[in-house]
Structure 1
Amino acid sequence: MSYAVASALQEAVYERLTFDANVYDLVQGAVYDGVPAGTVPPLFISLGEEKVTDRSDADGYGALHEVVVSVVSSANGFQSAKRVAGAVSDALLGAPLVLGRGYLVGIWFRGAEARRITRSGTRRIDMRFRAQIQDSSL
């Protein structure tokens, strides 16, 4: 197994979500690796947790990355967050991600959870994607 491509995958996901025209129209570039301190926009995307398992084979090192992409909204309902979540899914699944290291074998939507965060009054949708990566650098 190699965790060496994790950074390249994160960069590709971040770049795709930041520069996708449909996503940009909805969140105006509010895509974060970590939620910034202070005041945040009323609707934004945050890259979340990642779980990685070995998928190496006779041809080389590989890994299966399960990543979470979250949409957070301060709106009273879920509609705007769901619109953004749909655009995120379209952006990530619509065309192959180009990695700075290794290559993407495939990426798949695995599920989502939409919930109210009582403490903050926000709405949050956590989407799970699974990406199979081969490390071609070794």
Structure 2
Amino acid sequence: MSYGVSAALQRAVFASLTSDARLTALVGADIFDALPSGPLPPLYVVLGAEDVRDASDKTGAGATHTFTISVVTQSAGFAAAKEVAGAVSDNLIGAPLALDRGVLIALYFYKAKAARVGTGTLRQINLIFRARVADDT
């Protein structure tokens, strides 16, 4: 197994999202790798948790990364968040992400969950993606 591609995958996903015209038209620059300090915008995208499993084979080291991208809104409903979540999904599915370490073999949507958070003032959609990478360093 290799966890070595994890940072490269995260950089590539973040770069793809922040350079997407449709997504930035919806949320502006409010796409985060880590939440900023201070007040949060009313609608934003943030990269989240990751689970990595070995996917090495006789050709070399590799891993399957299951990672979350969250869309969070203070809106009363889910409509705006779903529009943004759709743009995130459209951007990543089949994206030819260029990694600065390793190679992306496949990237696909796994599942999503939309829910109210806390007392119900926030809405959040967690999009789960899976990426298969090879690391032949």
Question: Deviations for 1:77-130, whole angstroms, at most 9, x for unmatched residues?
Answer: 000000000000000014221111111100110100000113361100000000
Secondary structure, aligned partner of 1:36: coil
| 8 Å contact from structure 2 (residues 94, 106) kept in 1 | no
Provide the C-alpha distance between the structure 1 equivalents of 2:117 and 2:14, rounded to a whole number of angstroms: 24
Q: CA deviation at 1:36?
A: 1.2
Unaligned runs of 5+ in 1: none
Q: Distance in 2 between matches of 1:62 and 1:106?
A: 12
- The structural deviation recorded for 1:35 is 1.3
* Counterpart position of 1:36: 36
Q: Aligned partners of 1:54, 1:117: CA distance in 2, in Å?
A: 32
Identical positions, percent: 47
Look up the match of 2:75. 75
Aligned counterpart, 2:134: 134
* Structure 2 unaligned regions, length at least 5: none
- In the TM superposition, 1:1-138 aligns within 5 A as 1-119=1-119, 121-136=121-136, 138=137
Amino acid at match of 1:124: Q
Instruction: Work out the number of aligned pairs and report it.
Output: 137
Mapped to 2, the partners of 1:54 and 1:118 lie a distance apart of 35
Give the partner amino acid of 2:102: G
